[in-house]
Amino acid sequence: MGNFTLPLARRARRVVGVEGDAGLVAKAGNNAARNGVGNAAFVKENLFEPAQFGPWANEPYDFGAARSAASGRFRTAPAMAHWRPRRVVYISCHPGSLARDAETLVHAQGFKLTCAGVMDMFPQTTHVESIAVFEGPE
């Protein structure tokens, strides 16, 4: 729906939001139009099949924001080696997937973990959002 992409677009030259659900991609496009955001593009991709990503995936990116779902099946970190962003903000509702991908980002790709935290967005439940910021290799 553009929850991350649209605010980022206000501070970037161009932003690409990638989502696996066509309905959410359409809603994100509508939200961008309704809010006058013209520098955001939205792409539907099967996020579990990075080898089949479209042309957007061949472009370099300065910044990456990754959102990992509870299943933890989508492995975001391997794609970061190709894109080489200067900074990655990783948001996960599954701390285990964040830990797994942090290991890849830091040990295999040379990123540096600069800060991390937990947001209790749903008080009175066990659900938390884990957030980590990684700086790219020099």
Q: Can you tell me the distance from the alpha carbon of 25 to that of 22, in angstroms, rounded to the nearest whole number? A: 5
Confirm whether 115 is a catalytic residue.
Answer: no
DSSP for 48-98? T-GGG--GGGGS--SEEEEEE-TT--S--HHHHHHH--SEEEEEES-HHHH
Strand 63-68 and strand 87-92: pairing? parallel
Strand 15-19 and strand 40-44: pairing? parallel
* Annotated catalytic residue, options 93, 98, 102, 105: 93
List the Cα angle 112/117/120 in 5-degree steps: 155
With 0-12 / 13-18 / 19 or more C-beta atoms within 10 angstroms meaning exposed / middle / buried, residue 32 is buried
What residues are annotated to the active site?
93
